[in-house]
Amino acid sequence: MRFAGAYLQMQREHWPDLADRGLLPEPKAAVTKAMAESYRRIHMGEQSATFDPAPFHGLVAGFGMMYPRYSAETSQTTSIIDQARNILRKAKADGRFVP
């Protein structure tokens, strides 16, 4: 839930117009809990990941993706949230929204 909240906060800072349109909810506990549960279900194969780009048409130049990770002590020493921060900053600079 912490990562979901950080993601929403960062994206709301990068894309305030999307937040104003309701495309980026506030990182409240109920929202981040639902995001974490959805991630768990997708990761476990219980549901498919879906994304509808239609509401973003004309608001972003395109879409991007990220793969921040931490799997062992030999992994990236930057925290997963810091990795996401760097990725989302670059994506915004390129006009790419990472759903």
- CA 96 to chain centroid, in Å, comes to 12
What pLDDT shows up at residue 79? Answer: 87
Predicted TM-score of the model (pTM) = 0.86
Tell me the C-alpha distance between 65 and 99, whole Å.
7
Q: Is the pLDDT of residue 78 over 70?
A: yes
Average pLDDT score over residue span 53-71: 91
Tell me the C-alpha distance between 44 and 80, whole Å.
20
What pLDDT shows up at residue 69? Answer: 78
pLDDT per position as a tens digit, 13-51: 999 999 999 999 999 999 999 999 999 999 999 999 999
Q: Is the pLDDT of residue 54 over 90?
A: yes
